Amino acid sequence: MVKNMDNKKITIKDVAKKSGVSVSTVSRILNGYEQNFTPRTVRRVLKARDELSYEPDYFARRMIMKESKTIGVLIPDITNPFFSELIRGIENILYKENFITMLCNADLDQEKEDTYLRELTRRGVDGFIIASSAISNESINATLKANGHPFIVLDQKKAEGISDAIITDDYTGGQLAAQHLKELGHEQIAIAMPKNAPANIQKRLSGVRSIYGEEQIDLVDAELSKTGGRAAVPAVLKTTATAIFAINDEIALGLYLGLSEAGKKIPADYSVIGYDNIDMCEYMVPQLTTIAQPIFELGQITAKMLLERIENPSKDWEERMLPVNLIERFSTAHLN
pLDDT score recorded for residue 115: 84
Class of domain 70-167+295-322 as given by CATH: alpha beta
What is 170-293's CATH topology? Rossmann fold (3.40.50)
CA–CA separation, 168 and 155 (whole Å): 7
pLDDT score recorded for residue 273: 98
Q: Is 123 helix (H, G, I), strand (E, B) or coil?
A: coil
The 10s digit of each residue's pLDDT in 102-117 is: 999 877 677 787 788 8
Would you say 320 and 136 are in contact if contact means Cβ atoms under 8 Å apart? no
Instruction: Map out the domains of the chain as residue ranges.
Output: 2-65, 70-167+295-322, 170-293
Q: Which CATH number fits domain 2-65: 1.10.260.40, 1.10.1040.10, 3.40.50.1950, 1.10.1200.10?
A: 1.10.260.40
CA–CA separation, 277 and 275 (whole Å): 6
The 10s digit of each residue's pLDDT in 216-259 is: 999 999 999 999 999 999 999 999 999 999 999 999 999 999 99
Tally the C-alpha atoms within 13 A of residue 143's C-alpha that lie toward its C-beta: 22
Rounded to 5 degrees, φ, ψ at 181 are: -65, -35
Strand ranges in the chain using DSSP code E only, listed in sequence order: 2-3, 9-10, 70-75, 100-105, 127-130, 151-154, 164-168, 189-193, 217-221, 243-246, 271-276, 289-292, 319-322, 325-327
Average the pLDDT over 314-331 and give the result.
93
* Residue 102, strand partner residues: 72
Task: Return the percent helix, strand and coil in the chain, to nearest 5.
Answer: 45, 20, 35
The 10s digit of each residue's pLDDT in 271-306 is: 999 999 999 999 999 999 999 999 999 999 999 999
Rounded to 5 degrees, φ, ψ at 252 are: -60, -40
CA–CA separation, 97 and 126 (whole Å): 13
Q: How confident is the model at residue 164 (pLDDT cuts 50, 70, 90)?
A: confident
More confident residue, 163 or 226: 226
Do 70-167+295-322 and 170-293 agree at the fold level? yes
